[in-house]
Chain A
Amino acid sequence: MPRLSIDGVEIEVEKGTTVLEAARALRKDVPHYCWHPGLSVAGNCRICLVEVEGMRGVQISCNLPAADGMKVRTSSDAAVKARADVMELLLINHPLDCPICDQAGECKLQEYSFELGSGRSRFDVPKNHKRKAVEFSDRVVFDAERCIVCTRCVRFTKEITGTDELTVVQRGDRSEIDTAPGKSLTGNYQMNVVDICPVGALTSADFRFRSRVWFMEQTRTVCSSCSRGCNVLAGTRWNRVLRLVPAENAEVNRWWMCDRGRLDIREPAAEDRLAGARLMRGGVQVGVEPGEAVAALAAALAEARAAGGAGLFGLVSARLTTEEAWLARLLLRDHAGSPNLDLLPRTGEADGFLETADRNPNTEGVRAAGIAPAVGGFGLDGFRAAAEAGRVKWAVLVGEDLSGRPEDLAALAKVPFTAFIGSHDRGAAATATVVLPGATWAEKDGVLVNGDGRAQRIRPLVRCPGDARPESRILLDLLAAAGAAGAPDPSSSPAFLVKAMAAAVPALAGLTLGGLGERGAPLRGRTGVARVGTGVEV
């Protein structure tokens, strides 16, 4: 194993490690454009120059294997001067686009220019102009003038998606990126090129001009669009989620995420969000205080409990957090005695990369919390027949409105008492006896368990509209109103809820919210790809 010194600090690295990687292991960030940890080395941008004792001139550190006894200086005068020269060359034809460029504020060209550049250009000849606002697809917009031809995007389509759609055309200072004539970028991962472009040459059509990045609050959370649970950085402003970009997590999504998940940010701000509670009175729903609706539902559950619980059906969404599912189980099964609990499966096709067949983000967690038909009970499949036969007297839907499922809605119409706790005024919300406004993934703090059994924390990004609240809060109130034995206090914090759940559910033993850290942790005893956890209490 080679042992080298970087700026006087010794480090031993695996054979084959580059000097740039060794420097990063020491938390020295050598400037780089073309190098990306998830892509092959191209070595074309030359900004990563360092000085190595005994080697002539300066060397690019991203393509220089660390060797025994090497003495590297990352910020010697010669290295810094060489980098400043590279910057000057890169900026010869660069447009003065920062005021209109979406990358501004998170642009490496700006950063290194600020560090190394001069405020003045020594070139007074007209700049070499290129195409702007070129639609590579309906999701990705390209600006050739801003491109520094680092080929990260080209390597992404070659190495990661294998679609091989982008290439460098022309030579010298006319080089730019293009698709094949008449072709466009395709597929469910194309927007990743926007993230990896170190400058503003590739921008997202969806986010374009929506907000300058420095105004957005950036929160690390988890995508809720499939059971992969890609780690994401959510950008929010004006109480809206404006953008999701992948956050690196080697155990889950590495540096990438799919476009479907990325663009799934409209629901929290949809027009038909429920903002108030409603009660059915004389055949019409009327708006009521949430407390009144909670009392009405608690009273119905008391009846169901008195009748033994067999006539009660509970549908608990696999989009809820694990704690919410557990609270729903406490209420509907442990308290009201229903053997008929189930979740609504959502499936699609697994693409072999990130997107999984299970499009619910928390099937594992919700199942672990005990949402499944008990012996003698029925699930969603059995519900229809049972409802037709008049065996279902009460139905409680938590986080699922059954919109787009006409047969289930027809069966639901046969149930005398239905309650809907959820975020949107859709499907069952229109006919339910009790409606309580809930929250979307963007408004909750809690634990999701992905398809590999990795527990990860989602965080609240925006505020709920009106009287809407996370389902956990509503369920806690219902448990209190029902007088359920052993239920957590209604004022319990998210962290306390997780602790209480972990103490009660063996499959989730040891889980704590704090222990999940930024990157989550595999549940105890789980095997799967996600084994290398951080800070797990197991």
Chain B
Amino acid sequence: MVDLSINFAGIKAPNPFWLASAPPTNSGYQIMKAFEAGWGGAVWKTLGIPVVNVSSRYGSVNYRDTRMMGFNNIELITDRPLADNLREIEEVKKYFPNHAVIASLMVETRKEWIQIIKDVENAGVDGIELNFGCPHGMCERGMGSAVGQEPEVLKTIVEWAKDAAKVPVITKLTPNISHITDPGLAAYQGGTDAISLINTIKSIVGIDLDTYAPYPIVDGKGTNGGYCGPAVKPIAMNMLKDLAQHPEISKIPLSGIGGIETWRDVVEFILLGATSIQVCTAVMHYGFGIVREMDAGLRAFMDTKGYHTIYDFAGLALPNVTEWKHLDLKYKVIAAINPDKCIGCDLCYIACDDGAHQAIARSIDLKNRIPSIIEENCVGCNLCSLVCPVENCITMLRKDDGTAHVTWAERTNADDIPTSFNDNRAGGIGHFVPKPTDALKS
């Protein structure tokens, strides 16, 4: 029997599906509705000294017919008075004592931190999340990512919070930084109980071609916003991996955020070491109801694999994420086209010919357009299999027999790597390249 309940750094929840601190957690009404729909926890919209927001707040990147593939916002933290939020937190906890309610906080001075932590604890929160992430507006005021980008400052504030808090403290990181492990380690050293990531990424999602203003446009002007949604998932996962593989930071639980929408996303984040996940954009797009797809999918996955709790598979992908230099240079795959499935679009041909290694030939049979792989030219880059519009039409087949194995690191140790510009150990030597003038023939 699958048991989805979690204990995240001491914060208990019936399942790992949490709402990220954002508009969906703006009010008690929304959070109660979400819990009814099946969410296990919610990080309240960041509390602090209430702000004033602009009108026209969101922009998006639509990829073809897919709306909000990437999403950006120029909203700040809550614009509602603290007292209203506290009252509603209390009410939510009364109705849902076993769900996780976490207060996201962002203030400036130590005095303010101590005060607001006391306030939310009195209201009954199960944990607090320090928002060091917001990349617009708040940072201009010395908060949010302005803190998240300064590990020393971040560490100090984590220490303040830990000092003041009785409930577990989660530190939420900004991705607007070169090495996520820098603020990650600072938070760890400051004594944080857990880390959540990522907050939004600084972005401009588009420019209006008549007014020349960036979206979202506020009376003819715009500003950089915070990017999130499906587009940021790969960035979030990479950062999550960095923390989960870190010898020290990995000792504390990690909450994964960034582009999560389906059960697959959830499983991927857990495999990379997250033990709770948070969602914002997908809920802003489809409402709380999407949790039913995540829930059913996660359960089915765990059932099939025979896992009882998410801890049974948390982090299982981590050993397989290694450094480039440890990858096997003898491993060799080659593309294969299934002629029964091919629809003759020749996208693979042109992708390979113009964008890769000239390893696909067009059909010489006038009756069809099924291309063929020139095996000796194929470097096994995967490109054709990625562009092919037909499910399972191009597959990459393993060609080496698995007996030989050598990595860049080993070759380096053995002094067997190219060292000069025209070194004959270059990987491309002997590989077919057409004559430049072949390009000119019709």
The answer to whether A and B come from one shared complex is no
**Chain B contact residues, CB within 8 Å of chain A:** none
**Chain A contact residues, CB within 8 Å of chain B:** none
